[in-house]
Structure 1
Amino acid sequence: MQLNSLLIFVISMLVASSIYAEPDAPYPANYQPLPSTSVAIVGATIMPADGEEFINGTLIIRDGKIAEMGQDVPIPSGMDVINAQGKWVTPGIIDMHSHIGAFSSPSIPSMRNGNEKTEKNTAEVWVEHSIWPQDPAFQRAREGGVTTMNILPGSANLFNGRSVVVKNIPAVRVQDMKVPNAVKGAKLACGENPINYAARGKDPFTRMGNMKGFRNAFIDAQSYLKKKQSGEIKQDLELETISGILTGEITTHIHCYRADEMATMIELSHEFGFKIGTFHHATQAYKIADLLAQEGIAVATWSDRWGFKMEAYDAVPLNAASLEWAGVQTIIHSDSSILAQTLNVEAAKAMAQAKRAEKNISRAQALKWVTLNPAETLGIADRTGSLTKGKSADIVIWSDDPFSIFAKADIVMIDGVIVVDRSAPVSETSDFLVGQSMEELENE
């Protein structure tokens, strides 16, 4: 039953040749679940994310999907059984803000393909055209329990380009990782980054310059939509993305730290009649939590990262908890190939801050921050994000309570197939992950 990473890699090349969905779309999502066996996970504490946890549970997987789950579930004959006594089972982690594959390892200039720093507006680029599926950071994220990720272009521009949602499987082509029918996304950025990293000789140089750039772009997109409807205009890749935001076909992922700038971006959305999807980073979101809840805007943030630049200084450790209490769709993200390996701990830290304030966040709520909430925001909650009958068996079996610093992802499954097994012989999928043991070095 146990497939090591190398075997999964080979199989993925064989099964991903046919189109799974979106056959008429350019660069279609070809993701195909790998062949799976029927599996029973027994004896674990199960945390489903859409309900309360229970101990000594059994979870049945058939055809890569969750078939049954409960405390007294009979195990059908012919099943592979995983004894998870003393362990914890959760849905696979979903990283709402990743740059893996675009800012690749090893971090040398030719591997930094996430920022197209040539114009203030590069809405025409798609980050999937930069992603290197063999980035070893994908494997390291899998080892941290990450089964799905929303990969974004960088934040050097006002409009940075389109995002892509991928299943974290080994692959050669990014299209074989690309999740069909996820909500299309575009990355925007306000604040310091588009000011500091603007192309030489190009505006913006100020925050008011940022807003001028946004407004002009949406005015151009409005005009483009009118001409497109009359058939009088050639396709424009930049305006296709921005007009897609206006029509609601494309959601927005907005890099924004300060409360006043988030409020200004909300006013921008009112001026041009589009819906903001998610503010990312948003370290001052706690200041306008009620407004964000009223607008139905999700927030993807860190547990306690702050102070690395001016607009990140006025952060508080209760940011995530205060958003949850206000009714905001709250998400803990990584924005880092390192933090992606410990998103369970990031959620635990934010939960602990609430406990210190003597106003608890439940374990179920904290688990949603890295599972069901991002799934809902990305439009894939019908398929993943919780341990619900009929959903994909994207599952992590943890060695310890997943909110413990000592917890390791012993087994990680995507669509019912094991992609990480700490008990199996190591078989790395990248030359960059292959190293020498201390014993080998000592014998040289």
Structure 2
Amino acid sequence: MRIWVTAAAVLATAAMGGCATTGGAAQAASRPKAEAKAAPKPLPKGLDPQASANPFPSTYKPLAGRPTAIVGATALTGTGEQVDNATVLFKDGRIEQVAAGLPAPAGYEVIEAKGKWVTPGLIDTHSHLGVYAAPAVAAHSDGNELTNPTTPEVWAEHSVWPQDPQFNTARVGGVTTLLILPGSGNLIGGRGVTLRNVPGRTVQDMKFPDAPYTLKMACGENPKRVYGSKGRAPSTRMGNVAGYRAAWINAADYKRRWDDYRAKVERGEKADAPKRDLGLDTLMGVLNGEILIENHCYRADEMAQMIDISKEFGYRITAFHHAVEAYKIADKLADNGICVATWTNWWGGKMEMADSVEANVPLVDAIKGGCAIIKSDDPDVTQRLNQEAAEALAAGRAAGLNITEAQAIRWITANPAKALGISAQTGSLEAGKRADLVIWDKDPFSIYARTERVYVDGGIAYDRRDSSRQPVSDFELGLAREGVR
């Protein structure tokens, strides 16, 4: 037995020495081929955040329209230009051309608009229509999930009541697109949803196709008041900041675990998927750059702190909302590419609003790279965003700023589109964009201006002279339509 083992060892040594370059290949060839590793089984439906990224898809269908030429109007394009004696052409739901003196093509409906004005459809970047629906009763109060300081798992669209008559009144005011947000009672309030302002049976019928989701966060007095009154954290501003940071730490860890799992699956290794968490899904979407942060924050010092937190955890703030002290740090906001969505003259409702100035928007806009927005946060203001913008324009001029109406119209059109991640589709009268536009009977910066016709994707969504184009609701009793006199 010992001799046999020795002989075998000698033979093995000879084989290794004499056939070092071929022996391994020969032996491999003599063995059965190893079976390929089986592909990992996909996760059961609903357990993979990537596979469930859009479980409530848009079913929006544009209103029917026809090729149209608006002739002889003054057009504020949303690009900073004013075109006099303009012809605006649109067809198949898209803007074709805007130019002075352009003849109407054959087969187009021609609207004679001499003395009238045309703008892009207005965009309200901060609305609670549908989640605080009319009539304003407790049964319709669905905007704040005040059960935990951080509730990123909730989505505003699941509270939206599409029959809210306030959508109709906003449309009369020229609003064609809205961002519907949760309220500001929580540090992290949940996802917002961007809607087309058209009648719909379901919220999916109104969802802006492929618009990115947003996440509502809130600074300052609201969350500390809500939870401090319950004897819970946070009850101070320092408690607020600790709460944000703890949430992002959890989100970063969740993202790491999913990234590790997917890397192992890619390599064909055995891996156990993390348990899915709806709230952390949303925060992970922010960290991945897929979901936009819309941050309620009044004071300049708190905005600066939120910017530092975003840098600590590697995400970006898209816009600060309310932001009445934005003028104090306008350069810092511009340097970080952050928009400011605010009003003109809302102040004094609480201490953090006390240092507001009417020229806030134009002062932000005056900084190179500044992105200023007028929004509503109110069902009445959304009907007169043009008037709120006119007040800001007047305040800016009074402060010595040289601002044209062609520049100011961007505060309620192009800049809101930028803050919602939809500027490639709407917000300005440019070829190829959605035909969202408003015909005004006067200069829209006049307090006397009224909308004559509102188009969404080239279809007539409202016509002041045609009652059949004026959607009404049984729930509208007692509501004032500010655009109708």
Alignment partner of 1:161: what SS?
Answer: strand
Deviation, 1:69, is 2.0
Contact in 2 for aligned 1:29/1:180 (Cα 8 Å): yes
What's 2:467 paired with? 425
Deviation, 1:208, is 0.6
Contact in 1 for aligned 2:344/2:357 (Cα 8 Å): no
Evaluate the alpha carbon distance shift between residue 354 and residue 205 of structure 1 in structure 2; reply closer, same or farther with a 3 A threshold: same
Whole-angstrom distance in 2 between the partners of 1:423 and 1:27: 37
Alignment partner of 2:467: what SS?
Answer: coil
Contact in 2 for aligned 1:351/1:360 (Cα 8 Å): no
What amino acid is the match of 1:262?
M
> Equivalent residues in 2 for 1:293-372 (5 A)?
293-327=334-368, 328-372=370-414
Confirm or deny that 1:215 pairs with 2:256: no
What's 2:48 paired with? none
Deviation, 1:362, is 1.8
Whole-angstrom distance in 2 between the partners of 1:303 and 1:144: 18
What's 2:317 paired with? 276
What amino acid is the match of 1:355?
R
Kindly tell me the number of residue pairs found equivalent between the two proteins.
415
Whole-angstrom distance in 2 between the partners of 1:51 and 1:159: 35
Deviation, 1:226, is 1.6
Confirm or deny that 1:137 pairs with 2:179: no
Deviation, 1:435, is 7.1
Q: Deviations over 1:140-193 (max 9, x none)?
A: 000000000111100000000001111100001111111122122100001001
Contact in 2 for aligned 1:44/1:55 (Cα 8 Å): yes
What amino acid is the match of 2:475?
F
Evaluate the alpha carbon distance shift between residue 408 and residue 222 of structure 1 in structure 2; reply closer, same or farther with a 3 A threshold: same
Whole-angstrom distance in 2 between the partners of 1:130 and 1:171: 15
Which residue of 147, 150, 161 maps to 2:179? 150
Q: Deviations over 1:336-393 (max 9, x none)?
A: 1110000011111111111112222221221001000111221211111011111111
Give TM-score scaled by structure 2 length: 0.83
Give TM-score scaled by structure 1 length: 0.90
Larger Rg over CA atoms: 2
| Structure 1 alignment gaps of length 5 or more | 1-21, 437-444
Whole-angstrom distance in 2 between the partners of 1:149 and 1:216: 31
Which residue of 391, 398, 403 maps to 2:433? 391
What amino acid is the match of 2:402?
N
Confirm or deny that 1:176 pairs with 2:205: yes
More divergent stretch after superposition (151-160 vs 23-32): 23-32
Alignment partner of 1:94: what SS?
Answer: strand
Contact in 1 for aligned 2:188/2:217 (Cα 8 Å): yes
Deviation, 1:24, is 7.2
Confirm or deny that 1:204 pairs with 2:234: yes
Deviation, 1:310, is 1.0
Which residue of 248, 256, 278 maps to 2:289? 248
Confirm or deny that 1:61 pairs with 2:90: yes
Whole-angstrom distance in 2 between the partners of 1:267 and 1:320: 23
Confirm or deny that 1:264 pairs with 2:305: yes
Whole-angstrom distance in 1 between the partners of 2:467 and 2:302: 50
What's 1:442 paired with? none
Whole-angstrom distance in 2 between the partners of 1:209 and 1:249: 28
Deviation, 1:429, is 3.1
Contact in 2 for aligned 1:303/1:346 (Cα 8 Å): yes
> Equivalent residues in 2 for 1:45-56 (5 A)?
45-56=74-85
Deviation, 1:23, is 10
**Identity over the aligned pairs, expressed in percent?**
50
Whole-angstrom distance in 1 between the partners of 2:185 and 2:473: 29
Deviation, 1:51, is 4.0
Deviation, 1:79, is 1.9
What amino acid is the match of 1:209?
G
What's 2:267 paired with? none
Confirm or deny that 1:374 pairs with 2:419: no
Whole-angstrom distance in 2 between the partners of 1:270 and 1:77: 56
Deviation, 1:433, is 2.3
Whole-angstrom distance in 1 between the partners of 2:476 and 2:353: 33
Alignment partner of 1:261: what SS?
Answer: helix
Alignment partner of 2:421: what SS?
Answer: coil
Contact in 2 for aligned 1:428/1:434 (Cα 8 Å): no
Contact in 2 for aligned 1:119/1:202 (Cα 8 Å): no
What's 2:33 paired with? none
Q: CA RMSD in A?
A: 1.7
Whole-angstrom distance in 2 between the partners of 1:24 and 1:318: 41
What's 1:224 paired with? 254
What's 1:3 paired with? none
Whole-angstrom distance in 2 between the partners of 1:410 and 1:23: 42
> Equivalent residues in 2 for 1:101-120 (5 A)?
101-120=130-149
Contact in 2 for aligned 1:279/1:297 (Cα 8 Å): yes
Deviation, 1:287, is 1.0
Confirm or deny that 1:235 pairs with 2:276: yes
Whole-angstrom distance in 2 between the partners of 1:84 and 1:434: 33
Contact in 2 for aligned 1:120/1:202 (Cα 8 Å): no
Evaluate the alpha carbon distance shift between residue 125 and residue 323 of structure 1 in structure 2; reply closer, same or farther with a 3 A threshold: same
What's 2:21 paired with? none
What amino acid is the match of 2:238?
M
Whole-angstrom distance in 2 between the partners of 1:371 and 1:408: 17
Alignment partner of 1:230: what SS?
Answer: helix
Q: Deviations over 1:215-260 (max 9, x none)?
A: 1111111111122223441110111111222221211000000111
Whole-angstrom distance in 2 between the partners of 1:69 and 1:299: 29
Whole-angstrom distance in 2 between the partners of 1:225 and 1:358: 49
